[in-house]
Structure 1
Amino acid sequence: MTVPGIRPQPELAERMSWVKESPSSRVADRVRAFRAAGKPVLPLTIGEPDFDTPEHVKDAAIAAIRAGETKYTSANGTPALQSAIRARLERKTGRPYGPGEIAVGGGAKQLIFLAFLATLDAGDEVIVPAPHWVSYPDMVALNGGRPVLVPAAADTGYKLTPELLRAAVTDRTKWLVLNTPNNPTGAVYSKAELAALAEVLRGHPRISVLCDEIYDEINFGAEPVPSLVSVAPELRERVFLVNGVSKAYAMTGWRLGYAAGPAALCAAISTLQSQSSSCPSSVSQAAAAAALDGDQTFIRETVAVYAERREVLVSGLAAIDGLRPVRPDGGFYVWTDAARLIGARTSGGTRITTDADLAEHFLETSGVVVIAGDSYGCPGHFRASFALDSETIRKAIAGLAASISKLRFR
């Protein structure tokens, strides 16, 4: 019986207790609240390029609209986008992919979620090296799996080693997540490191590998970021490569990702998408095809700018007592060890007991916003972005130095 004046509410499923709000979204809400209160904020939390989408990509989208390309498409993308993706993958991996081995979705994030939804049964384990992107464990848990976090230490460059991988494997392991370049550390796995991990995987044929390569074009090395498929082609049928146009082409809001892997998995993802979001935006697909197939000057120019900003942020953080930043090989984040500041007290006498406390101290005393390391499965650290102009980065460094100078260690 409905009580007059009380509107019945839907009862949430138990699975909602398994997932928490994205730390990035939570921090963004704090930034908005500070700005609404008229307080200055210097956000080193930006997870997207501050550049505009290239003009030729926008022109392709406008042309698609004018040509009436505004209808439903196949869940796996238009022929033009499929062709552009397959060409890009062959350039990257040296291996051809057929049309049935491609999945297209509303961002790389959606494709990762759907891959887990399509493959995980209750209790299946997914090895997630830490530091890790914030969403992996929750995606696994929400789809009934069990995330197995494997901490990687500073002395290995925060990268998974064969020994760590071997120790983490059980008879319930279904996936290994491998993110290179890594968010949050910027670590890039070398060919030798990938080959060593592949040697372990050869002994466990049931384990598939989800390779998240979304930052692979933002690379500061002399050589392209290597792919597991290139290094160990015999594992190709067990590897699900995930990528997109968001980071490389400054197209985060276009929501277009792609993946390549076993035909059965790609077909399952297509089925799931057909029953959920139908298909990616037709206009975004036209833009993505132009990005992947067109002039790549934008990437070279923006990576050069990122490289300059990287040095500004790394050198600035390194000059602050108590901070130990790691120079990233890819992506646009600097991972910083701040463990020596844990235990200090603020000028008001409050003890800094966690990296979340430290991040709050930075925000309250200088308006600088970073994301605490515990969000990435690695307490005692924080992530700072250099996807913003160098002058703002310098102001943020000065703010962090001022905040840390207010801490007392007795």
Structure 2
Amino acid sequence: MPMRFSERVAGIEISGIRKIFEAAGPGSINLGLGQPDFDTPQHIKDAAIAAIREGKTGYTSNNGIPELRTAVCKKFRKENGLVYDPDQVIITAGASEALHIVMQALVSVGDRVLCPDPGFVSYNALATLAGGRPVSVPLARDLHIDVEQAKGLMDGARLLVLNSPGNPTGAVESKESIRALVEYAADKDVTVVSDEVYEHFIYGGEHWSAGRFGDNVVTINATSKTYAMTGWRLGYLAAPDEIVGQCIKVHQYCQACATSISQYAAVAAYEGDQHMVKVMRDEYQARRDIIWRGLSGIGLEFPIPEGAFYAFVPMKPEVAQKIIESGVIIVPGSAFGVNAPEYARLSYATSRENLDRALDRIRSVIGG
């Protein structure tokens, strides 16, 4: 008798990014994963070691240690112009868990969840796991959100997911676009979920938090990218009291609490020296320039990435496959939705030397 599984789980696929990464051959250059190649700053590691030595290794309160929630609120006020109370913050196992519990708490069976397409691979899957119906929000030719098309989809929707700077596009949405979307969503009783994990990696522009322009907003962030702490699994969400009150139930039963040691490390991240964040941003900008010049030089035309550490490049699937076979891991656009099958994402979160080597191999496939 065949095994039976949940239709919600059986109906989704393993991330296309992970599939390609796992299938990569030896000697491949990885431009696939969004994984910073920097080490976690030493003062953050020292705080984790101190927490272990001091025996701070037990459960914490469900929503996280008070010191960290207070530090997050200070960060919101100083950097984003957002006013949250520590009781309106839940510390999670990365931004991934924050997204998961928001979907579980707010989405009912059949609810429409508006997701950028192309967009981060988790949005559609998490909406589906919650019983919702993901709906593609198309991007304009410059890879920014098409505001008018997004507005046209909002009637009857439950959530609108925003991601700026964007993955996989590298696009940074303007103040005007963010404000227009948040205000229109409020009129339509649509909750905005704002994924801001790349906020510190912007090259010339400015980050605008959606929560600046309305109250029906859930702000999601993490230490993962900002402080090169992907493996520490430390994120958080902030939202109005009534939303937090429902999200904490899901968090309690699926996670209990974020790792205690990571929480104490994150306090040091937010309250300590921020110099390395600027160092990483400047290096990512230099790498962006390398990959943009290199790809433009062989005839690939695309908007210069404004943020994050991704280039989203027009490329036919067969060309992307040949590049992968040449030993450069990139991710076809089909992994990010249905609207960009003839694109590929290249991550420049790797060394300049690796980028130069990868560009040589790409040239050998494309010419130029």
The two structures have a TM-score, normalised by structure 1, of 0.86
**Shift of residue 9 of structure 1?**
8.3
Q: Number of aligned pairs? A: 366
**Shift of residue 207 of structure 1?**
0.3
Q: Secondary structure at the match of 1:240?
A: strand
Q: Which residue of 2 aligns with 1:349?
A: none
Retained in 2: the 8 A contact 1:186–1:333?
yes
Q: Which residue of 2 aligns with 1:299?
A: 277
Retained in 2: the 8 A contact 1:334–1:385?
yes
Q: Which residue of 2 aligns with 1:347?
A: none
The answer to whether the aligner puts 1:178 opposite 2:162 as a matched pair is yes
The answer to whether the aligner puts 1:19 opposite 2:48 as a matched pair is no
Q: Secondary structure at the match of 1:334?
A: strand
What is the CA RMSD across the aligned residues, in angstroms?
1.6
**Shift of residue 278 of structure 1?**
1.3
Q: Deviations over 1:221-261 (max 9, x none)?
A: 254x111222x1xx12x100000000010000000001110
Question: Which of 297, 308, 325 in structure 1 is aligned with 2:302?
Answer: 325
Q: Secondary structure at the match of 2:353?
A: helix
Q: Secondary structure at the match of 1:215?
A: coil
Matches of 1:261 and 1:27, distance apart in 2: 35
Letter in 2 for 1:168: L
Retained in 2: the 8 A contact 1:176–1:207?
yes
Q: Which residue of 2 aligns with 1:362?
A: 323
List 4+ stretches of structure 1 deviating above 6 A: none
Q: Deviations over 1:121-161 (max 9, x none)?
A: 1110011122200111111011100001022121xx21223
Q: Secondary structure at the match of 1:275?
A: helix
Matches of 1:281 and 1:88, distance apart in 2: 21
The answer to whether the aligner puts 1:375 opposite 2:335 as a matched pair is yes
Q: Which residue of 1 aligns with 2:210?
A: 228
Q: Which residue of 2 aligns with 1:194?
A: 178
Retained in 2: the 8 A contact 1:61–1:284?
yes
Q: Which residue of 2 aligns with 1:209?
A: 192
Retained in 1: the 8 A contact 2:29–2:329?
yes
**Shift of residue 362 of structure 1?**
1.1
Q: Secondary structure at the match of 2:254?
A: coil
Q: Which residue of 2 aligns with 1:102?
A: 89
Retained in 2: the 8 A contact 1:273–1:279?
yes
Q: Which residue of 1 aligns with 2:116?
A: 129
Gaps of 5+ in 2: none
Retained in 2: the 8 A contact 1:129–1:159?
no
Retained in 1: the 8 A contact 2:21–2:329?
no
Gaps of 5+ in 1: 1-7, 343-354
Greater C-alpha radius of gyration: 1
Q: Which residue of 1 aligns with 2:312?
A: 335
Q: Deviations over 1:326-375 (max 9, x none)?
A: 2111101111112xxx4xxxxxxxxxxxx2x33221122x2111100111
Same amino acid, percent of matched pairs: 36
**Shift of residue 119 of structure 1?**
1.1
Matches of 2:151 and 2:210, distance apart in 1: 17
Matches of 2:205 and 2:125, distance apart in 1: 35
Q: Secondary structure at the match of 1:135?
A: helix
The two structures have a TM-score, normalised by structure 2, of 0.96
Retained in 2: the 8 A contact 1:102–1:259?
yes
Q: Which residue of 2 aligns with 1:74?
A: 61
Matches of 2:248 and 2:185, distance apart in 1: 27
Q: Which residue of 2 aligns with 1:113?
A: 100
Retained in 2: the 8 A contact 1:46–1:388?
no
Q: Which residue of 1 aligns with 2:229?
A: 251
